[in-house]
């Protein structure tokens, strides 16, 4: 395998006649330039032109974006919403923590008016959620768990043991066998093979 070509920001990679711009690049006067220090990657994806991207060993600066699945840790709850720290975007860890909010009405898809945040999350829970909005100037990222496969994935009971889910809305402590309410994420079998 030939060593991959390296580039730094501002390097002119090729003309737009030769390639389509991918990630880590920008267009200027009909040419594609690199915007990152990284490896140049050309990929044929069945299109007429190959896609040219610049990639780094660590995923370039990912920020939570609308539609992204994020892993977060619940920091506080009140009757109207739960506050979380976003730890991951997809499978990429974030180096700096970003805060997000899961509003009461975004916890689940059905019976929205009967949701109680205390029966859905507890501080310290690890939750899978989806970004629905970047929020406005005043608020944080808005997240939702209103899908079957979204919700609490790891939770600890009052006794401190990691609980196991027993239904979509309950988890049980293996030590005390006490049941606690959570909005539990369901794992679909087709994802287990992946």
What does the binding site for another protein look like in residue numbers (CB under 8 A)? 4, 6, 8-12, 24, 26, 28, 33, 35-39, 41, 55-58, 60-61, 63, 69, 71, 73, 87-88, 90-91, 93, 95-99, 126, 128, 134-138, 149, 153-154, 160-162, 164-166, 172, 174-175, 177, 184-187, 189, 191-192, 194
SS3 category, 152: strand
Q: How far is the CB of 8 from another protein (least distance, A)?
A: 5
Nearer to another protein, 41 or 51 (CB): 41
CB of 76 to another protein, least distance (A): 16
CB nearer another protein, residue 99 or residue 103: 99
Q: Which one, 46 or 114, has the nearer CB to another protein?
A: 46
Residue 61 beta carbon to another protein: minimum distance, rounded to whole angstroms: 5
For another protein, give the closer residue by CB, 107 or 150: 150
User: CB of residue 111 vs another protein: minimum separation in angstroms?
Assistant: 23
Tell the smallest beta-carbon distance from residue 87 to another protein (Å): 5
Q: Which is nearer to another protein, 61 or 113 (CB)?
A: 61
- CA–CA separation, 35 and 86 (whole Å): 26
Token code pair at residue 29: 């006067």
């Amino acid at each position: 395998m030939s060593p991959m070509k390296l580039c730094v920001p501002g390097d002119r990679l090729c003309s737009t006649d030769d390639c389509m711009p991918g990630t880590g690049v920008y267009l200027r006067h009909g040419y594609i330039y690199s915007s990152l220090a990284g490896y140049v990657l050309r990929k044929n994806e069945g299109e007429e032109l190959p896609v040219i991207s610049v990639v780094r060993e660590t995923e370039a600066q990912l920020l939570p974006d609308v539609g992204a699945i994020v892993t977060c840790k619940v920091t506080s709850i009140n009757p109207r919403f739960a506050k979380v720290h976003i730890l991951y975007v997809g499978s990429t860890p974030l180096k700096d923590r970003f805060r997000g909010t899961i509003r009461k009405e975004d916890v689940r898809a059905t019976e929205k008016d009967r949701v109680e945040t205390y029966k859905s999350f507890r501080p310290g829970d690890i939750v899978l959620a989806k970004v629905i909005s970047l929020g406005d100037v005043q608020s944080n990222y808005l997240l939702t768990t209103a899908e079957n496969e979204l919700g609490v994935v790891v939770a600890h009971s009052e006794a401190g043991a990691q609980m196991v889910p027993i239904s979509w809305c309950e988890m049980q402590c293996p030590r005390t066998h006490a049941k606690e309410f959570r909005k539990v994420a369901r794992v679909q079998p087709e994802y287990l093979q992946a």
